[in-house]
Amino acid sequence: MHHTTISIADDHPFVLASMTAVLQGVPQFAVVHQCANGKDLLDALSKVETDLVVTDFSMTREDRSVDGFGLLAELRRRHPDVKIVLLTALVNAGIFTRALSVGVGALVSKTDSISELARACARVKISRSPYLSPAVQSIIHGASMDHPNTSKARLTPKELEVVRLLVAGRSLAQIASQLGRSPSTISTQKYNASRKIGATSYTQLIRYAYENGLT
């Protein structure tokens, strides 16, 4: 039997072990790499490329240099044939839409049933159409209906990325360097994000990030 090889990346050891156990339990899957951050994932793939990558979007506990859309862009650039499954706690439709536009083949929420991970991996391997888990579909549908609980969708993906990295402890200069933007652009995006959500302090930014799954 030909096995579909998989690389997994998540900065929470328990989640990493759980994903490995679920996928290893499927006869046609073989987990080759288990990584704690984006840099480790790229390093592992440079040595042995796999058919699929299952990765979190926000991995900021260790190395923050390759994360979020930066990681997705590097995966597409270095490994264009590898299928990407994004497993995330994020609840923002704007980020989901942008992730699909940069080549993510499947989106699964950490609030979904654990069986959704294996289903997404199986589907993305054989289908050119993106796979959206039930929870992700619900989030996107809620945003399109302008549900009152999706006020976070008012921020652009770039503004959300800046807020996420600020809350993770990055300075404006570090964010500018990581995202390849000027410090003045990052400052403007921080200002716009704060204005849109009504945050007048760093504490309010942190609260927003936690309430909207950006941490």
Task: Give the amino acid at 101.
Answer: S
Task: Give the amino acid at 113.
Answer: S
Average pLDDT of the residues in 92-110: 87
Write down the pTM of the prediction.
0.70
Percent of the chain beyond pLDDT 70?
88
157-212: CATH topology is Arc Repressor Mutant, subunit A (1.10.10)
| Confidence label for 158 from pLDDT (cuts 50, 70 and 90) | confident
Provide the pLDDT for residue 101.
83
Does 118 have pLDDT greater than 90? yes
Does 114 have pLDDT greater than 60? yes
User: Residues of 202-211 as b/e, b for ≥16 C-beta within 10 angstroms?
Assistant: eeebbebbee
The DSSP bridge partners found for residue 87 are: 108
Domain 4-143: which CATH number of 3.40.50.2300, 1.10.730.10, 3.10.580.10, 2.60.40.10: 3.40.50.2300
Provide the pLDDT for residue 147.
43
